[in-house]
Amino acid sequence: MKTKNIILFFIVFFQIILLTNMTPSESYMLHQTDNIIDKVEMQNKNLGNKVLNFGLNLLIGFLTIKQIGTVSADSVNSNWDCCLKTKEGAICQDIAPSYSSDCASDSLLVPAKCENVGECKPGCCFDPNEGLCTTNSPKAECEKTVNGVQGEWNEDPACLIDECQKSCCVLGNDVQFVNEKRCKKLSSVLGFKENFKGELKSEIDCLALKEEQKIGACVLNGACSIKTEVECL
């Protein structure tokens, strides 16, 4: 009986010890968990700061490069002047300021690149005397007076204007695909009556007309004569 009581005593004693140590153990475990959470939060915060700093540095670098590019472009443009006419007669030439003496005395010298000067803008130049159309012609070059004639400038650089529309011009037994003003000029120079076929809008049709203009022997009603193919038919 005494031995049984001793065993019961030890069992109760150990249970008391276990209950007494349980709270500190749980507190220690919770404390360790809090430390882990704090470390994770700190790592996330550091990662966020690194990403933010990287983004700011990237943005600053981009703006710096853009500013350098703008300054460089301005510097390049500022190192050129536009000469509307050089002493050699060239029109709209970019020259360095140190070579400004190459510009003709009666010409303007603009402190900018020629591509930004209105007088050098490319367009269509129509010669009202010769009937010629020049594409991508600078305005200043077109409007200068040559042999008393001044060109007519149009802002369409491809010369898709009425004055430059081509059709077939008959010149004796030959043809040329030109505009009406050019046909008139060629007819006058070659001594032919003007014969402008405005209805023939393609060069192929014009060349086909040339074949019809060829002269050959024509046998008609038993009589032989020299005629063109159109006249013979």
Beta strands 109-110 and 166-171, pairing class: unpaired
What is the pLDDT, as a whole number, of residue 14? 57
What is the pLDDT, as a whole number, of residue 9? 57
Per-domain residue ranges of the chain: 68-117, 121-163, 165-233
Beta strands 145-146 and 149-150, pairing class: antiparallel
What is the pLDDT, as a whole number, of residue 127? 96
State the residue for tokens 């008391």: 16
What is the pLDDT, as a whole number, of residue 78? 59
Q: Which of 182, 206, 65 is nearest to 127 (CA)?
A: 182
Could you read off the pLDDT of 138-158 as tens digits, one per residue?
998 898 888 888 999 999 999
What is the pLDDT, as a whole number, of residue 217? 80
pTM comes to: 0.56
Q: Is there a contact between 90 and 120 (Cβ–Cβ < 8 Å)?
A: no
Question: What distance in Å separates the CA atoms of residue 76 and residue 58, rounded to the nearest whole number?
Answer: 27
Residue 221 in tokens: 């009603």
The ranges of the chain with pLDDT < 50 are 2, 24-28, 30, 33, 37, 40, 65-77
Q: Is there a contact between 133 and 153 (Cβ–Cβ < 8 Å)?
A: no
Number of CB atoms found within 10 A of residue 59's CB:
10
Task: Name residue 122's beta-bridge partners.
Answer: 138
State the residue for tokens 């430390």: 35
